[in-house]
A = this chain, B = another copy of it.
Amino acid sequence: MFFGQFAHSIDPKGRITIPANFREQTLDGVFVTEGFDQNLSVYSKPHFEHIAANLARTSITNARSRELRRKIFSNSAELSYDSAGRILVPARLREMANIKGTVVIVGIGDSFELWSEEDWKAQEAKLNDPEADSSRWEAFDISTRGD
């Protein structure tokens, strides 16, 4: 599982050091795709294949399905680690997520995300906003207790 958040720097060539802990869970490389919130999503190989399989099951005759496929696959890249544990994220993808200088790497359980500092700050503010409807999570019924 991927936990925590880390601010790492990007070298002049666009390489990003992935936290050692995350790297160990994705030794055979990762898939990076455009996220849904102006960010990049990073999946392990097996996990991405699972998502791809789900997508493949949706009907090709459905316009929305075709669009979703295009969105995801056309903006994906399969990346591997160099000997220093870095990945080179394609310039196109970095630009889409407005990532430069520093990137925030955010664990979200079964995958992790890459954010620009700026966008991540905004996202965090949103998550912690006490004004926001506190019942907005209720639909998920996350019990803290097993039965």
With contacts A66-B37, A70-B123 taken as known, whether A110 is within 8 angstroms of B1 at the C-beta atoms is no
Instruction: Say whether A121 faces chain B, with CB atoms less than 8 Å apart.
Output: no
State how many copies of this chain the complex holds: 2
Q: Is the CB of B140 within 8 A of A70?
A: no
A144: B residues at CB distance < 8 A: 43, 47, 50-51, 110-111
Chain B residues near A58 (CB, 8 Å)? Answer: 140
- For A52, list chain B residues within 8 Å (CB): 1, 109
| A54 cross-chain contacts in B, Cβ below 8 A | 140-143
Interface 0/1 of A46-79, CB less than 8 Å to B: 1100111011101011011111111111111110
Q: How far is the CA of A5 from the CA of B34 in the complex (A)?
A: 13
- Is the CB–CB distance between A36 and B51 below 8 Å? no
Q: With an 8 A cutoff between CB atoms, is A92 at the interface?
A: yes
**Total interface residues in chain A, CB < 8 Å:** 59
B61 touches A36 (CB 8 A): yes
Do A73 and B146 contact each other (CB < 8 Å), given the known contacts A64-B136, A126-B67? no
List the interface of chain A (C-beta within 8 A of B).
1-5, 36-37, 43, 46-47, 50-52, 54-56, 58, 60-61, 63-78, 90, 92, 106-111, 113, 123-124, 126-128, 136-137, 139-146
